[in-house]
Structure 1
């Protein structure tokens, strides 16, 4: 009797594992969502965490399987040099170029194209900067648990560069596709982001609040943690935050306030897709 029960339990587990494997395989066979040329599609996990932090130029701290600050629902561990908003620029560009083909295929682009897409000038310093970003993105190890799905690997699997021809061949892992499931991604208004170039905290805030249809108030200390800010004193961060929010308002038209309880309120007009989501949540349930 006991042996029969154990066999039934084993069979049930095997069936569950097989079904989950089949569901994952289906996801990986699907192409990335298609978004307009004017936007960049980014998994929310990269925008609602300190994975690409609001850090300034200079020496970078090396992390070893360190837990990255994020909103509830994500568990992120990271190994490698800290990533910043300029690294996110290039990663967004790569996802944009890969969106019409299955991830895992080779993305071919010239140095000039990659720099132009990222809003950088083409020159020796720009080319060296691009080399550093490619090296960082391929040297990382990210472990992400997002709902029932998990991803472990680098943000760029590998890259090839022909210095004489000035071109790159970059390979993205097909399993990154899992980060786009269940509509858990956001279209970033690229022109707005480019207006905030070289303002890392303003860029991070733009990405973070872009993921929210109707942003709720957040404590200054929470934004300090989630953004990965390296400001040691909270009053220093609060001053940086006010400047960044003012820049964000200038680029987007979103308004903001920091109330007496140190809560940050950002008011924005939702995108058409976010407006549909808000309307759907307001519909009465049967």
Structure 2
């Protein structure tokens, strides 16, 4: 799968060169890139990290019930009210780090709208 690995001396970034035959299997939209820098900003915030990973895998997100997010993320918080409070905080943190618009709407659904800046991919 990986043909070559090196470290860019200017940027200090690790670079991978993939086998072209494996790249053809995925195309431009068959994989999800998660920014390490953003992920590190969320260290110690497991729900926010989960939300970032989850929504990073969506080209376009759609509203999802709070209850569904609770199940999908595997939360062990028993009361939905308590989970919703934690979720609101996590969505605020996610908005701050990613510049995405994240909220719980009046129908009790999580809405995430990605803001993509010029020269930046999702």
User: Which residue matches 2:103?
Assistant: 257
In the alignment, which residue of structure 2 is the partner of 1:269? 115
The answer to whether structure 1 residue 236 and structure 2 residue 82 are counterparts is: yes
Any idea what the Cα deviations from partners look like across 1:155-204, whole Å, max 9, x if unmatched?
xxxxxxxxxxxxxxxxxxxxxxx9xx534321111111111110000011
More strand by share: 1
Alignment of 1:205-216 (within 5 A): 205-216=51-62
Distance in 1, matches of 2:46 and 2:33, equals: 19
Residues 101/255 of structure 1: CA separation in 2 closer, same or farther (3 Å cut)? closer
Residue 193 of structure 1 is matched in structure 2 by 39
After superposition, residues 147-226 of structure 1 pair within 5 angstroms as 181-182=25-26, 183-226=29-72
1:31 Cα deviation from its structure 2 partner: 2.8
Q: CA RMSD in A?
A: 2.9
The aligned runs of 1:100-115 (5 Å cut-off) are 100=17
Partners of 1:228 and 1:192 in 2: how far apart? 22
Does the 8 A contact of 2:94 with 2:102 survive in 1?
A: no
Tell me, in whole angstroms, the C-alpha distance in 2 between the residues paired with 1:186 and 1:257: 23
Normalising by structure 1, we get a TM-score of 0.33
Task: Mark the runs of 5 or more structure 2 residues left unpaired by the alignment.
Answer: none
SS at structure 2 position matched to 1:186: coil
* CA apart distance, 1:101: 7.4
Q: Where does structure 1 lack aligned partners over 5 or more consecutive residues?
A: 1-29, 39-95, 103-177, 275-286
TM-superposition CA deviations, 1:191-223 (whole Å, max 9, x none): 111111100000111111111222111111111
CA contact (8 A) 2:101 2:115 kept: no
SS at the partner of 1:264?
A: strand
Instruction: Give the aligned partner of residue 2 of structure 2.
Output: 31
The aligned residue for residue 91 of structure 2 is 245
Deviation at 1:273, TM superposition (A): 4.5
What's the secondary structure of 2:33's corresponding residue?
Answer: strand
The Cα of 1:257 is off from its aligned counterpart by 2.0
Q: Is the 8 A contact 1:196 1:202 kept in 2?
A: yes
